[in-house]
């Protein structure tokens, strides 16, 4: 298998960081993108480059802010000029607000969607002309189990991931004739810094009106990792492995891939399987079965 040119967004931590290291380990040309590579993420940049080098691989770290269209377009243009192509884009950048849904203002939610949804829109649109010209490509959209099911106090996060799932699935159908695949990876509750760095809601008056209910999100954050089996903790590397396997797949990839910690099953896979024939029947009834 020849190595692919893979761009990963949100690679400074979590699934993104693990994914770029795994892909580099497998011999791909990997570009880890993140904000502020000369400032607050300078240490992460060095860690990634050094970790790959220690294993005999090369990994590039590039400045890109998915919330800034000019930043995205500039980064993708530079990378295409440097490498001649981009085979795979992994849309991983994201935030996870945990709080009283009503207390998040429109401005709060717009900032969230700027990263979780529009960040992928910007990155997809930047790479797609190059992929269409090449007649091949892969878009990977990292969503969540909460892109399919809803938990209280994760409403804004779920909304952004539901939106991303809709975008990714529409691309799946529309891009098939160009030889481009669009897929979704749905991770379960693995340890990460997403909950600890959760953006707080801005509307304090609404929070006050919820009284003791407003304390529940804080309790969720405080106990996010409770109940884990210390002898066999959840391995977020499983998500990086799943993404890497999908990048290397030689046959038709599934639209959705669920990745749960060992022993957990929230029913997302069963939900996907139940919905799939309904979706397929709808497209077939409109004469679009060739897009399936």
Distance in angstroms (rounded) separating the CA atoms of residues 258 and 60: 28
b (16+ CB within 10 A) / e for 129-167: ebbeeeeebbbbbbbbbbbbeeeebbbbbbbbbbbbbeb
Left if phi > 0, otherwise alpha if psi is -120 to 50, otherwise beta: which for 57?
A: beta
Sheet strand arrangement including 256-259 = 59-63, 29-34, 5-8, 88-91, 137-142, 180-187, 256-259
Helix%, strand%, coil% for the chain, nearest 5: 50, 15, 35
Distance in angstroms (rounded) separating the CA atoms of residues 176 and 184: 15
Distance in angstroms (rounded) separating the CA atoms of residues 191 and 276: 29
Is residue 259 within a helix (H) or strand (E), and if so which, with residue range? strand 256-259
Active-site residue, 157 included: yes
Could you say which of 104, 157, 171, 173 is catalytic?
157
Query: For residue 73, which of 64, 82, 86, 81 has the smallest C-alpha distance?
Result: 64
Q: Which two tokens stand for residue 88?
A: 């795979």
Catalytic residues: 157
């Amino acid at each position: 298998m020849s190595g692919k040119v893979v761009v990963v967004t949100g690679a400074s931590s979590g699934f993104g960081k693990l994914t770029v290291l795994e892909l580099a380990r497998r011999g791909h040309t990997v570009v880890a993108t993140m904000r502020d590579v000369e400032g607050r993420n300078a240490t992460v940049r060095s860690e990634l480059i050094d970790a790959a080098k220690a294993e005999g691989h090369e990994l590039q770290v590039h400045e890109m802010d998915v919330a800034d269209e000019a930043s995205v377009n500039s980064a993708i243009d530079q990378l295409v000029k440097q490498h001649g192509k981009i085979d795979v884009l992994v849309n991983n950048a994201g935030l996870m607000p945990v709080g009283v849904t009503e207390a998040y203002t429109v401005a709060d939610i717009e900032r969230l969607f700027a990263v979780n949804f529009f960040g992928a829109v910007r990155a997809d649109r930047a790479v797609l002309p190059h992929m269409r010209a090449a007649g091949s490509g892969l878009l990977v959209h990292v969503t969540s189990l909460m892109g399919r099911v809803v938990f209280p106090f994760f409403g804004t996060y779920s909304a952004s991931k539901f939106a991303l799932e809709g975008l990714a699935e529409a691309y799946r159908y529309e891009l098939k004739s160009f030889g481009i695949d669009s897929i979704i990876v749905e991770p379960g509750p693995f340890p990460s810094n997403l909950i600890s760095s959760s953006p707080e809601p801005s509307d304090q008056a609404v929070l006050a009106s919820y009284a003791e209910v407003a304390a529940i999100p804080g309790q969720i954050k405080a106990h996010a990792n409770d109940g884990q089996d210390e002898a066999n903790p959840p391995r977020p590397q499983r998500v990086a492995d799943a993404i890497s396997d999908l990048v290397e797949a030689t046959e038709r990839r599934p639209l959705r891939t669920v990745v749960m910690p060992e022993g957990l099953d929230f029913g997302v896979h069963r939900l996907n399987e139940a919905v799939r024939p309904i979706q397929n029947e709808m497209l077939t009834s409109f004469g679009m079965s060739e897009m399936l």
